[in-house]
Amino acid sequence: MSTSPMLRPLELWTGVECTMNRVQERYLNQLETCGHDHRPGDLDLLATLGARRIRYPVLWEHVAPECPDQLDWSWTDGRLGRLRELGLQPVATLLHHGSGPVYTDLLDPDFPEKLADYAARVAERYPWLTSYTPVNEPLTTARFSGLYGVWYPHHTSDQSFVRMLLNECRGTVLAMHAIRAVQPAAELVQTDDLGKAHATPAMQGEADFQNDRRWLAYDLLCGLVNTDHPLWSYLLGSGATPEELEWFQDNAFPPGIVGVDYYVTSERFLDERTERYARHHQCGAAYADIEAVRVYQNTAGIEQLLREVWERYRLPIAITEAHLGSTREEQMRWFDSFWRAAEQVRSEGGDVRAVTSWAILGSFDWNTLHTELNGHYEPGAFDVRGGALRRTALADLLHSRATGQQPAHPVLGSPGFWERPDRFFYPPVGTLPHEIEAAPARPLLIVGDGALGLSLRHLCVERGLAYRCLASGQQSAQLDLMDKEAVSAALDHHQPWALVYTSGYGHIEEAERDRLQFWQRTAVGLAVLARACAARGVRQLIFSSDQVFGGERRAPYQEHDVPAPLNAYGRASLDAERQALAYQPDTLIVRSGALFHSVAGTGVLGRAMTRLRAGEAIHLDREHRFSPTYVPDLVHTSLDLLFDGERGVWHLVNQGETTWADFVRTVAEASSLPGNAVCSATGHELGWIAPRPKYSALGSGRGQLMPTLGKAIARYLADAAD
């Protein structure tokens, strides 16, 4: 006797981002970019999460790229075979945000039949497959390819949009009939991005049209588009014929599961007052189109949208894409809010079957709508940047939900940015909804001040992280790290889940002048902290330095290279690393190069830029090559690693190397300041006391997680201009 779907537990599904779209004459392949195409071992790691199904590519362009009769199944055979062995059921995707191989496109009159022919061959090859998505997000793909001109064939008309959508939906119906001729139990899992348009009263008509249009792919497949449909006249006016619309009524193929994809940008706000908004949010002179979360108080959210889907179709539902390109804790909060929303709608009688963690391996370059590949990466439950997969904190959350456990990560106790009042980019519109009352969250305890400590505080606020701060020292208002009782009392008072140590960072000259005191405060202090944290189960993040190396190399130092510090600062930093790891092996040690940040007039770069703007010449070091490190990048990446449970030594720098003189000269010229006012000097000429390694650039054998130095400089300039 089978169990009612409503009595079964909510399922975890996962999905591999597999877009293979065409831009002009170039195909962009997400599987190739993320490396999954040559890492079959990924599947074994994905299976450890406890998911029941995986949305997985059997892509038309991949299997038969040049000719419909020349099919290469080798890659797909291996991957689907392994998924079958692992007991992880694939939902086979045949076309994912693409226009098909070179011998067709979405405007090809024969596109539906060509897709159906390929689908038949897939079913014949893999008769055991029982779940299919012939065309992922047909409405969204038709908008991007036919209405907005973003993807091939780059059309921008309602006529092209409608023709593409009809071709995709007809192709889906024909494909499923071809599949069922082989496997009668095959199920259609039809996905699309389901957002909602909100508007000012003057724009409500446009919002109503967009809200009707969002259902079109599902409505066509369900045979609901008839003369009473609100978009019947629009479709006829855009080139559809009554006969082809009636074909869908006669050949209705309702999805076995309605797949709902939802992103933070899915809900939109339309406003005729274009002068209130940035140019990139303006649709000509007519109106502005903005992410609703950034301006509108009354967004629907995934929970209400699930209710709308259930009321409209009364078909089983799965959230087929839940992904947020953001910081780690926001990714976790986002997914968990989807899970809780699904459970709530289930409790009301809605048949919600699953929540899918999409882009399980992360995704590249969706910040440009996948129109070019610039290396912009958003991690998922696994991070691919080290070559092999690295598990993130999101993976632990997914496993907890899949196995019926309540997730317990401390960051889940605070609301996501989409729920906080600081989310607005523009003056908020609408009525403030009921304020979310979050339980007090255990904080991060930040020990230390300076530029690094200040940036940590600022970014904790930005990320919605509870934190407390303590300066380190021996004055009464500070925490004396060599006082065991004071350290224990501070930890017991603040009850942090993790401690971040930034004290004394970059004080190279001070350490050389007062070696003993600096060593005691740093190395001995870290030993005391580590013992106290270990006794209380408090994790540690400690910032260290490239100064632990001796400079004998001419290639970037990696984590496994043997330290040999030349100065007192480097020796104290190295001793602090060793003490912390000895007393608490789970400590995360982050080494970086010299820091730069956008706070005017501070740090070597900030002071130099201030003097250059005043028309002064400056003298900077030309002898020592290092990896400049942009503070926001360092802090964001370090916190993500802390949340992921990483331990041991990590090198985090913006990839690249230079000297202070060359670095400041580059930034000055990019700011239209005279680079020739930067004069090169030696450390001796600058009055340095402490010796420095001639070469201290850092690389990482664990994964290059930070943007390149060039990209960091570009963001520094943008941040400094704000």
pLDDT value for 1: 40
Euclidean distance between CA atoms 203 and 101, whole angstroms = 39
What does the DSSP 8-state code read for residue 430?
S
Residues 269-323: tens digit of each pLDDT: 999 999 999 988 988 878 999 999 999 999 999 999 999 999 999 999 999 999 9
Euclidean distance between CA atoms 223 and 81, whole angstroms = 36
Long-range pairs for 456-461 at CB < 8 Å and ≥24 separation? 456/500, 456/502, 456/635, 459/632, 459/635, 459/636, 459/639
Euclidean distance between CA atoms 44 and 36, whole angstroms = 12
Show the domains of the chain with their CATH numbers.
Answer: 13-423 (3.20.20.80), 444-721 (3.40.50.720)
pLDDT value for 4: 58
pLDDT value for 124: 98
pLDDT value for 434: 62
pLDDT value for 240: 98
pLDDT-based confidence at 436, cuts 50/70/90? low
CA separation, residue 134 to residues 56, 177, 288 (Å)? 11, 11, 34
Contact 446, 453 (CB under 8 A): yes
Average pLDDT over residues 422-440: 76
pLDDT value for 600: 74
Q: Which of 627, 623, 660 is nearest to 556 (CA)?
A: 627
Residues 191-241: tens digit of each pLDDT: 999 889 999 999 999 999 999 999 999 999 999 999 999 999 999 999 999
Average pLDDT over residues 125-147: 98
Taking phi over 0 as left and psi of -120 to 50 as alpha, with beta for the rest, 292 belongs to alpha
For the cut 90, the answer to whether the pLDDT of residue 460 exceeds it is: yes
Residues 318-345: tens digit of each pLDDT: 999 999 999 999 999 999 999 999 999 9
pLDDT value for 6: 60
For the cut 80, the answer to whether the pLDDT of residue 475 exceeds it is: no
CB atoms near residue 685 (< 10 Å): 13
For the cut 70, the answer to whether the pLDDT of residue 534 exceeds it is: yes
What does the DSSP 8-state code read for residue 53?
E
State residue 645 phi and psi, 5-degree precision: 80, 20
For the cut 60, the answer to whether the pLDDT of residue 2 exceeds it is: no
Least confident of 5-9, 109-113, 362-366, 535-539: 5-9
pLDDT value for 474: 43
Average pLDDT over residues 374-395: 93
